[in-house]
A and B are shown apart, each in its own frame.
Chain A
Amino acid sequence: AQTVTQSQPEMSVQEAETVTLSCTYDTSESDYYLFWYKQPPSRQMILVIRQEAYKQQNATENRFSVNFQKAAKSFSLKISDSQLGDAAMYFCAYRSSNNAGNMLTFGGGTRLMVKP
């Protein structure tokens, strides 16, 4: 079974600065998908960024980028130019590409606080 670990329960960043959230995972599969989801106080999970394991290039979405290290099974999220609206819970998630389904395995989450 796959596991996802987020070692930072809480992180804090000054507005306009850069912060990196860590995620490691354990799997014996070679092909899979990784995601970062944001959960604001409204509770709705919002997809921030996704990475296909077969792609070597790190995914980027505006101010959000990932550092995907497949051999190390590491998938960190970098948020540049942090904004007050970035304050939320962030979850790293894994999805197998072999599984004929959409089951996500989540990490425990990192609460990001943004200081004005």
Chain B
Amino acid sequence: KAGVTQTPRYLIKTRGQQVTLSCSPISGHRSVSWYQQTPGQGLQFLFEYFSETQRNKGNFPGRFSGRQFSNSRSEMNVSTLELGDSALYLCASSLVGPTNTEAFFGQGTRLTVV
């Protein structure tokens, strides 16, 4: 069974540009969550999508947005990049149900803003 796939693995962008990151969940998983990991702030929740709808949102500015497609694949977009957006962006997918609590993570996309 294939795991969570994030593309690209590495990305270098210039301040002011925008970027789109992609996440393909494990087959059958309909919930996709995004996290930002930085040395200073640690792991912070960005948002979660389920059945193409944003179900939860973390405390990030509107420059951070996402969407989910009918096949559960998700994209995350950051507009007007700032140096502080340099981070590892992790995606996690989950089954949905009363006892399905485990989140499976991808290997992340390392974004560097210069």
A contacts, CB < 8 Å to B = 33, 37, 42-47, 50, 52, 91, 95, 99-109
Contact = CB atoms under 8 A, between A and B. Distances in A.
Given A45-B90, A101-B48, A109 B33 contact: no
A14 to B, nearest CB: 27
Interface in B29-80: 31, 33, 35, 42-45, 48, 50, 55-56, 58
Contacts, number: 60
Interface string B84-108: 0000101010101000011111111
B56 A101 contact: yes
A109 B94 CA distance: 22
Nearest to A42: B107
A106 B44 CA distance: 7
B92 A108 contact: no
A104 B107 contact: no
A52 B107 CA distance: 26
